[in-house]
A and B are shown apart, each in its own frame.
Chain A
Amino acid sequence: MLNKKSAFAFVTSFVLAASLLSGCGSSKDSGTSSAAEGTDTSSKQVEFSFYYSGSQNVDDLWKNLIPMFEEKNPDIKVKAVYVPSGTGAQPTYDRILAAKQSGKGSGDIDLFEDGLGVVTKGQKDDLWDNLSTDHIPNLNNVDQNTLNDVSNLAIPYRSSAVVLAYNSETVKDVPKTLDDVYEWIRSHPERFAYNDPSTGGAGSSFVTTSIYNFLPEDAIHNTDPSIESQWDQGFSLLKDLGKYMYGKGIYPKKNQGTLDLLTSGEVDMIPAWSDMVLDQLDKGQLPETTKITQITPGFNGGPTYLMVPKLSEKKDAVYKFLDFVLSPEAQNVVVDKMHGFPGIKLTNMSQEVQDSFKGASEGFRSFNIGDLDKDINKRWQSEVAAQ
């Protein structure tokens, strides 16, 4: 049944992709096809397809980076396929998996971008290629600990963290620790909101951080379900906080939901993604009085990863692209265009960039609890939302 289902998903996405491709007017044949007409001079041009998803800002980022890369490497063409967030990331993963199971290589996907959850899932299904500095020299720029976390199967090319965003006009005593935050919430009823954790990472991080605050430090890298019995204390705390939340227990949908509340002044403090806050501040969507801070222990922050499907036939070209993405030059674009933290160590970046991220890009922690977040969401829904 499951196979049938994923086969169905595969067929659907294939049809979709085919229609997309024919729309672009490029040949559907994989392999070393010359991408567009008139490129016969560079006869050996390699085209690989790169699937990424995310919000609009991710699309904008790649539309900047890819031309930069192609200019330097005229023999490589990147076929970018943007899958708007929410709708397509799961089918893309299913497609890679289905292609492998039916012996069809990598399903015409040579590079894939997603979060930690998918990296771990693919690790179990043995989908990702092992990456090393032999092929990608710039991998040396990346913090080795982050790479160990994903067993060198994925490249953390940018990251952002959940931070506390607050209205600096009304919040004078800025919380420094998680306990300070609880304290603030209790003394300012209905002025704090976090989004429904199943609809966005900011709320999810608040919930996870609150639960794991009662657990030993290294529990945040534990994917074993046996740890779930230790969650009780955290959940009862969240349950108790419910009556101090915005609207006595309203958790808006999506990361943007709480940001909207902060904009309209209905709340004074929210957990939010740093890149969303910085970007919306830049565009004037959030009031200028909005400030961000990280607390200790830090909220979840995390890299977004690039993975190479093991069965891809165009790995050499992909490696070159990855090497470029990890260069300080490309990383500068990440910082400028989407206010993300660079994926490489800050010491590789200019002093200016290093200064601008002081405070915000430190102190966050990378949670890697695998599929356990599904159970957290489930339990949150029945215990905290429905109390």
Chain B
Amino acid sequence: MSKSIKRGILGISMVLPSFLVLVLIVVIPIISSLRESLKNENGGYDLSNYAYLFTDKLMRSNIIFTLEITIVSSILVLLISYSLAVYMRFNNGFAVRWIRRTYMIPIFIPSVIATYGLIQLLGNHGWMARILYHLGTDSFPRIIFDMKGIILANLWFNIPFTTMLLGSALSGVPDAVIESAKDVGAGRLRIFFRLILPLTFKTLLVALTFVFMGVIGSFTAPFLIGPNAPQMLGVSMEQIFSVFQDRQLAAATAFFTFLLCSFVGYFYIRSMIKEESVRSS
């Protein structure tokens, strides 16, 4: 056996375990839920469940609602996290020290507790409403049982990790590059858009993928503080599956969510592959 074949076998045998795990817990469930979702009431196969997904008024509004929340949350999370990370990277002092010490706290608070905390804080008779009432404001906007509440909860859950991710990417930007740009007279904005942003763009994409997938599949916060209708897809899926016990429709919803996620995943993987090929050529 030649050396290269041996090396090839070794390579395959090292990849095999993770490949098998992937097949067992990702690929097979996806295929089986695709099959389940194509079943109609008479036991045959057709697209009736998907047709229902896009023609039923309620389901359609659920999908739009989910996309709205996901897109708004992703943009807000990325904006806030990126500015936080940039601020922490290029500044020093009291404020930065305290942000650095505290921004990870939300990660360690269980989501159910955090959600109930938000209800206590922002609910109709919550602390915020009471404080504002004493300051003379009578009307308090509806945050809990509304889209705003879900978005706020998503910010709480996603900002720490995203900031951490972006922070580490930013610390990879060498000071020397920035200083030399400054030396040749580049302005602050120019440095940001021509150097920092391109150098961290890939991590930004990774962060976007994480936030997008985390939000679109979220359940606890939307279940507890979302409105009764429209619902986010996760909540709706749970209801269809365990209350209406319509497994096929639940599978169709799940598969559709998977498609949405893989759409984002596609861009992420494409940019990764591009990077690799640039490097190897």
The residues of A with any CB-CB pair to B shorter than 8 Å are 1, 5, 90, 196, 198, 247, 249-253, 264-266, 374, 377-378, 381-382, 385-386
Contact = CB atoms under 8 A, between A and B. Distances in A.
A386 B229 contact: yes
A52 B170 CA distance: 54
Interface in B196-249: 223-224, 227-230, 239, 242-245, 247
Nearest to B248: A1
Nearest to B36: A1
B97 interface: no
B239 to A, nearest CB: 6
B239 A198 contact: yes
Contacts of A252: 145
A266 B126 CA distance: 11
Contacts of A251: 228
B58 A247 contact: no
A252 B57 CA distance: 22
Interface in B31-62: 32, 35-36, 39, 56-58, 61
A247 B123 CA distance: 11
A378 B224 CA distance: 19
A325 to B, nearest CB: 29
A266 B228 contact: no
A386 B125 contact: no
A273 to B, nearest CB: 18
15 contacts: A247-B145, A250-B227, A250-B228, A264-B123, A265-B125, A266-B124, A377-B239, A381-B228, A381-B229, A381-B239, A382-B58, A386-B57, A386-B58, A386-B61, A386-B229
Contact of B39 (A1, A253, A374): A1
B158 to A, nearest CB: 23
Interface residues of B, number: 25
Given A1-B39, A266-B124, A266-B125, A198 B243 contact: yes
A253 B227 CA distance: 10
B224 A253 contact: yes
Nearest to A246: B124
Contacts of B124: 247, 266
A247 B227 CA distance: 11
A385 B228 contact: yes
Contacts of B125: 264-266
Closest 4 CB pairs of A and B: A386-B229, A385-B229, A385-B228, A198-B243
A265 B125 CA distance: 9
B61 to A, nearest CB: 7
A357 B31 CA distance: 55
A385 B236 CA distance: 13
B6 to A, nearest CB: 39
